[in-house]
């Protein structure tokens, strides 16, 4: 396995300023946020007073919450240190792909975007744009959140199915599609495993599959998702529904303790033969050159 390290270079509206003390200081457009980051186990480069001066808002977890459980359903609160709106817009530009994102301060500490995934948006746009436009290129985005990958695929001309178990999150994703001046994405509020199981049974096929599963979560009907219990079955269905040529899978993991070898072994269990795989660790450097790890990623290309 060849391991690459990837960071998005085309961001203008995002910057990782400093990391450390289990926190990160980030700029989204004109606003700076301080948020928990369980992997930033080193000391901060800037003094705490600088963080307080720079940050417009700081997220604090509820007392007793485990910071290592980044996908926990427990909540916290935003403390506003300067004037900042509850919602604002940032942009991402790559060649002819122009995406806009409506961000917001949520009670879970998320704000509607994972900036490190921009490397995959660029790949998706390039791959789909290079295909024969006489054929419909079908993309399935599972655990799709607010849909940066869905937007990239749509901007490249694909038919996109966007699946997420949270109805409010899908409403948010629709708003982001509209501010990006795109349309035509198919929205599905459903448990991802249940949906892909049904697609395999129906014999439906896709040219691209994107999945960025959480460590654990709940479906709209209370379905329980545990990564270690369900991911093998999920990949088996990906194998059934992926077209054998001119196709790709992007499989990302942000779960502390999970090696990139986990992704490689899962994919190799089902995808054999001539498929090409690329494995990488995603990261952002802060202003002092410390590289914050932000998960692993595997791309399979047929």
pLDDT digits (tens, 9 = 90+) for 236-288: 999 999 999 999 999 999 866 678 889 999 999 999 876 899 999 999 999 99
Q: Are residues 129 and 230 in the same domain?
A: yes
What's the pTM? 0.91
Q: How confident is the model at residue 24, as a pLDDT?
A: 98
- Cβ burial 210-225 (10 Å sphere, 16+ → b, else e): bbbbbbbbebeeeeeb
Q: Are residues 133 and 189 in the same domain?
A: yes
CB-neighbour burial class of residue 79 (10 A; exposed 0-12, middle 13-18, buried 19+) = exposed
Residue 29 within any structural domain of the chain: yes
Question: What's the distance, CA 299 to chain centroid?
Answer: 14
Domain count, the chain: 2
Q: How confident is the model at residue 17, as a pLDDT?
A: 98
CATH number at residue 55: 2.60.40.1180
Taking all residues of the chain, what is their mean pLDDT, rounded to a whole number? 91
Share above pLDDT 90 across residues of the chain, in percent, rounded to a whole number: 79
Residue 167 pLDDT grade (very low, low, confident, very high; cuts 50, 70, 90): very high
Residue 3 within any structural domain of the chain: no
Q: Mind listing the pLDDT tens digit for each residue in 52-109? A: 999 999 999 876 544 444 444 457 999 999 999 999 999 999 999 999 999 999 988 9
Q: Are residues 159 and 17 in the same domain?
A: no
In angstroms, rounded to a whole number, what is the distance separating the alpha carbons of residues 183 and 86? 25
Q: Are residues 84 and 118 in the same domain?
A: no
Q: How confident is the model at residue 70, as a pLDDT?
A: 43
Q: How confident is the model at residue 124, as a pLDDT?
A: 97
Q: Are residues 160 and 23 in the same domain?
A: no
Instruction: Look at residue 34 and give its three-state secondary structure.
Output: strand
Domain with 84, as residue range(s), is 10-88
Residue 240 within any structural domain of the chain: yes
CATH number at residue 217: 3.40.50.150
Residue 2 within any structural domain of the chain: no
Q: How confident is the model at residue 72, as a pLDDT?
A: 44
Residue 288 gets the label, from left (phi > 0), alpha (psi -120 to 50) or beta, of alpha
Mean pLDDT (whole number) for 219-235: 86
Share above pLDDT 70 across residues of the chain, in percent, rounded to a whole number: 92
Residue 103 within any structural domain of the chain: no
């Amino acid at each position: 396995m060849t391991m690459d390290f990837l960071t998005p270079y085309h961001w203008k509206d995002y910057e990782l300023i400093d990391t450390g003390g289990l926190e990160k200081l980030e700029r989204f457009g004109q606003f700076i946020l301080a948020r928990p980051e369980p992997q930033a186990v080193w000391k901060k480069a800037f003094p705490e007073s600088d963080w307080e001066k720079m940050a417009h808002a700081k997220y604090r977890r509820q007392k007793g919450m485990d910071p290592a459980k980044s996908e926990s359903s427990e909540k916290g609160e935003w403390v506003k240190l300067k004037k900042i709106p509850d919602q604002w817009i940032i942009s991402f530009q790559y060649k002819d792909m122009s995406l806009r994102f409506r961000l917001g301060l949520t009670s879970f500490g998320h704000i509607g975007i994972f900036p490190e995934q921009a490397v995959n948006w660029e790949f998706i746009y390039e791959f789909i744009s290079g295909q024969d436009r006489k054929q419909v290129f079908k993309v399935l985005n599972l655990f799709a959140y607010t849909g940066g990958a869905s937007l990239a695929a749509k901007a490249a001309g694909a038919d996109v199915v966007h699946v997420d178990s949270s109805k409010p999150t899908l409403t948010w994703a629709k708003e982001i599609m509209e501010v990006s001046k795109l349309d035509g994405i198919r929205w599905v509020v459903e448990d991802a495993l249940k949906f892909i199981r049904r697609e395999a049974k129906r014999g439906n096929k896709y040219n691209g599959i994107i999945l960025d599963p959480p460590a654990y979560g709940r479906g709209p009907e209370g379905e329980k998702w545990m990564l270690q219990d369900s991911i093998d079955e999920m990949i088996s269905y990906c194998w059934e529904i992926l077209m054998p040529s001119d196709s790709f899978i992007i499989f990302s993991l942000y779960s502390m303790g999970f090696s990139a070898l986990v992704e490689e072994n899962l994919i190799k269990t089902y995808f054999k033969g001539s498929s090409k795989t690329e494995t990488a660790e995603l990261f952002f450097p802060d202003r002092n050159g410390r590289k914050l790890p932000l998960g692993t990623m595997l791309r399979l290309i047929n």
